[in-house]
Amino acid sequence: MNTVHIVLLVLVLEIAVPAGLAAVGEGHGTAARRTSSSLSTPSSSSSSSRGSHSSSSGVSISSADALPAATQRQRGGGSSGASRRGSSSASAETNAEQCVPPAVAKAIPSGVPIKPLPPGEKPNFIIILTDDQGYDDIGLHNPSYVKTPNLDRFMRRALRFDNFYVSPQCAQSRAALLTGRASPRVGTMLVHGGYDFINSAEATAAEVMSAAGYNSVHYGKWHNGRTLGYEPWNVGFSESWLPPMASEDALVSHNGTYVQTKKYLDEMLMDNVLGFLTAQQNASKPFYMFYAPHSIHTSRTDGPFQGRAFRLYPQRYRLQFKDPRYQSVTPSTIDAWAMLQYLDDVLGRLFSFLESSPLGRNTYVMIMSDNGPQLLVDEKEQQERRIPSKMQGSKSLANEAGIRNFLAVAGPGVPGGVIDSSLIGLPDILPTMADLASVPEGTANHKPWDGMSFKNLLQPGSGGGAVAAAALQSSGRRGAALASAKQFNRFVFALSPHCWDADAVPALGPDREVLRPQPLLDYDRGGVANSVYWKLLPGLRHNNPGFEACIAVRHREYKWLGATGKVYRFQNESHVELPCNEVPEPQASTLANIMSNAARAWWQSLVADSSSFTKPTYYLGMGKWRVTNMLADGAHERTPGNITLLANGAAGFRAPGDRMCFKSKVLTGGSYDATMFYTSKQWAVFRLSIGTYKAIQDGSAPFITTTLPAVSSVMRGQLIGSIKLPASGDDNTEACLELLNSASPGAPVFKHFANIRFTRRAAAGEGPPIKPAPIALSAAAFLPPTPEQWAPTGTTSAPNNANNDNSLLAVPAPDPVLSEPPPGLDTHGAPVATPAPKMESLLPLPPLQPGQNPISNLFATLRSRYKWPEGQGVMESMFSPFDAEDIDMCEACKPEV
């Protein structure tokens, strides 16, 4: 049997229950009846777990029967759920043993290790989100191979959740964690393409907790915004250490200032975490920490996407895998386990600190990962070595191994050594923190959360069913005994990227906001087949695929996949998506219709939300910051057909009048130097206008007209001039780039257009401005540049009217000529608890040429290492086209820099 692989984004939402299902669970009996269901203790059958229920349609429901019938309908694809599923007799093709996972380490209840806090005392929170660590990537779940003694010890003494769901992709998981809302609802649809941002109208966990009196700090990976206004220090975090993908001796952004460090990345991050916690022991203000290690994510040799993927960690850990039982294991899997042991040692420092610190008595610690394991090519033939639970799939796939993850919680009043099987997900984390901290509803003007607080599961005395749960804790498994009716009957939704693409640009209404509803967002006939993923979903229509095929639903012990219509029943610890767990007919059709109706209602709720399907707003002049990278893939409008949005930029511009527009907001008026980063095979003349859309249309908005030379090979910045902009105030403003003429009309101008970098000219005391050198050129001539035209004129301001005949010739933007470290680079300021090296020991610098400045040599080396194109001027918010994830299958996305 072929397994269909689907990439999913896991979302948790409480929605209106479909007709016929509302009665189920309203009187679901005592909590004890749910303790031995397939979502709970594996030793009992589901039929004995909840008893019978009477539905509004009069069907008697037990776990051995299907849920009540829902209204039948034909799907947008024109095929019924039953026809998609095929015959249920396929279950005979698979031996039932394939659905029996190995036993998981026994839970041993340890009471309540940390006493509850007295009334009125605010707890602290440490939320740990590791990278690419799957459910089986811990010793408790893979004891034959994986060595994670520190994490195992923490989890044995904590409350574990074995029905916890995340996204199989990074940006979406982090958005759900940080907002408590479904990630498509907040604008995070993909891991790139302008859809890896959180809409700025959303309140983050940092903003909510800070408004409630917390000190909010961040350490590690981010991936929820790559430009000004979306970085951690712009969205509520008072302290942030944001590293690049490099894993050793990294140049780390500390609250926006680059600091060179000299350690393996996660060791350095933990130094700073412990430095903060040490100082916090004497602080009166509670804290919320978001700690996101980079382990066990891969790196690549020879630069991004140019060599093989590998895992970077101290090699002393690999030497510990010399035992004969590892000799037949593929090298990439050994590397994964070695890197897990390295991560475990790093985490062990945190756990040990908390055990000996007064913070241990008033701090909740929650640990989970963002998605399932990444399996490299040589690992796939030995998948059961990495995934002994027998779950199918891996990172970026729909199957359980990609979306089911571990969650362990320890803290005041939390029972230890207990496994809970309630169905929960990442959007529940923020509502739970707010509930534990008594944060008032609506703090920081947050929008309604999709997630539900599971405080009742963490503190058994705080909700009903505590007596029944206590009786079960002697076995360490309490099933879903403490789940409320809403928790027990909830739906967990998942959305794959197959039906959405970087080039999916919703139409705008008269107010220049996303038009709702519209054909592109229609459940049955909307969507854009993803240019990379769509072939992985057999049968997906390439044109107008709709969205049902890209949605999956979990409910109670069942899982439905819209792509196939199949329904699986997970019981006895088995989350294996094979025929041996497939629900037979006629129950399967009934369940499929109920869950697909729920999916349709959920989708309609997404379309109605004002933050969904939006692109970022680009802020110019925010606070002290001078640089804004207006990333081309973030355009909210473009000429369809002639301009294509890529995962990390755009391509095209074929005919005069082609244009793309970006939402923008000028917060501080002044003069801004504009630099474009692109590759092209022909010269072209463009106009860049910034103002209200009406002013742009009638030509009264400030603009620059520029002739761009061909840049056929290496991407570097071309300075197109300076523009004087008033503050936007209450106006809705945009930036629009329009093609006026080109050397070869009809042929695409840009092979890869990546970014317009705006740098606000320095006010007094802010340092020197860029020294641009464009010349005035007759816009009527539209001639390609010649060497004689590269002389400076000393002026860069374009007239603020549409009737001028002056054009600016774009010239290569300079990198700074430096006699001292550039602004924004700290080569000697030490991170907390981590000695910073001297400049000469930072990197293997190339030999100096006669008369060459060593600081400039360092800057050139940093550019080479981090793939920064030349011409960025000041060292602030440095840009690389390779900062976007998942672009290795897009050849146009990998320009030479």
Say which residue the tokens 């043993």 belong to. 97
Write the pLDDT tens digit of every residue in 220-233. 999 999 999 999 99
Assign 548 to helix, strand or coil.
helix
Residue indicated by tokens 């860029």 = 770
225 in Cβ contact with 615 (< 8 Å): no
Q: Check pLDDT > 90 for residue 782.
A: no
Mean pLDDT along residues 520-534: 91
Greatest mean pLDDT among 188-192, 308-312, 816-820 lies in 188-192
- pLDDT tens, 323-379? 999 999 999 999 999 999 999 999 999 999 999 999 999 999 999 999 999 998 889
Strand residue runs (E) in 535-669: 551-555, 558-561, 567-569, 617-620, 627-631, 637-638, 643-646, 649-652, 659-666
pLDDT-based confidence at residue 659 (cuts at 50, 70, 90):
very high
pLDDT for position 569: 97
For residues 131-146, average pLDDT: 95
Closest-CA residue to 171 (of 367, 9, 19): 9
Handedness of CA 42, 45, 51, 56 (dihedral sign): positive
Share of the chain residues as helix, strand and coil, in percent rounded to the nearest 5: 25, 20, 55
| CA pair distance 123, 363, nearest whole angstrom | 6
Return left, alpha or beta for 886; rule: phi > 0 is left, psi -120 to 50 is alpha, else beta. left
CA angle 58, 59, 65 (to 5 degrees): 170
pLDDT in tens, 308-327: 677 888 889 999 999 999 99
pLDDT digits (tens, 9 = 90+) for 260-277: 888 899 999 999 999 999
Of the candidate ranges 220-234, 443-457, 683-697, 774-788, the one whose mean pLDDT is the lowest = 774-788
Q: Give residue 462's pLDDT.
A: 53
Q: What is the pTM of this model?
A: 0.86
> What is the arithmetic mean of pLDDT over 717-732?
96
- pLDDT digit string (tens) for 334-343? 999 999 999 9
Helices marked H in 630-729 — which ranges?
Answer: 693-698
Average per-residue pLDDT for the chain: 82
CA angle (385, 390, 396) in 5-degree steps:
85
Give the confidence band of 885 by pLDDT, cuts at 50, 70, 90: confident
The per-residue pLDDT for 394 is 86
Per-residue pLDDT tens digits for 487-514: 999 999 888 888 999 999 999 999 999 9
Residue 510, burial from CB neighbour count under 10 angstroms (0-12, 13-18, 19+): exposed
Tokens of 17: 């229950």
Question: Mind listing the pLDDT tens digit for each residue in 277-289?
Answer: 999 999 999 999 9
Chain centroid offset of residue 806 CA? 44
Distance CA 764, CA 809 (A): 29
**Confidence at residue 892, expressed as pLDDT on a 0 to 100 scale:** 85
Q: Determine the pLDDT at residue 549.
A: 87
pLDDT recorded at residue 767? 52
pLDDT, tens digit, for every residue of 432-486?
999 999 999 999 999 999 999 999 999 987 554 554 455 455 678 999 999 999 9
Residue 403: is its pLDDT beyond 60? Answer: yes
Alpha-carbon gap, residue 364 to 127, rounded angstroms: 8
Number of other CB atoms surrounding residue 242 within 10 Å: 20
- Beta-carbon contacts of residue 119 (< 8 Å; ≥ 6 apart): none
Residues 894, 886 contacting (CB under 8 angstroms): no
Distance CA(112)–CA(417), nearest Å, equals: 9
For 78-92, what is the mean pLDDT?
Answer: 44
**Contact 541/526 with Cβ under 8 angstroms?**
no
CB 366 within 8 A of CB 436: no
The pLDDT, as a whole number, for residue 532 is: 78
Q: Given this model, what pLDDT does residue 856 score?
A: 63
pLDDT tens per residue, range 3-36: 333 333 444 444 444 444 433 333 333 333 344 3
| Residue 543's pLDDT band (cuts 50, 70, 90) | confident
CA 578, CA 39: separation in Å to the nearest integer? Answer: 18
Could you tell me whether strands 637-638 and 716-725 are parallel, antiparallel, or unpaired per DSSP bridges?
Answer: unpaired
* SS3 state at 615: coil
Q: Where are the beta strands (DSSP E) in 104-250?
A: 124-130, 159-165, 215-220, 239-242
d(CA 409, CA 38): 22
pLDDT at residue 24, rounded to an integer: 33
Number of other CB atoms surrounding residue 694 within 10 Å = 12
Percent of the chain with pLDDT over 90: 61
For the record, the structure tokens of 679 come out as 């590759």
Give the pLDDT confidence of 832-853 residue by residue, as tens digits: 444 444 444 444 545 545 655 5
Beta strand ranges found along 36-86 (DSSP E): 53-54, 60-61
- Which of 89-98, 510-519, 592-601 is least confident? 89-98
Strand partners, 237: none
Is the pLDDT at 723 greater than 80, yes or no? Answer: yes
Predicted pLDDT at 647? 94
Contact 353, 270 (CB under 8 A): no
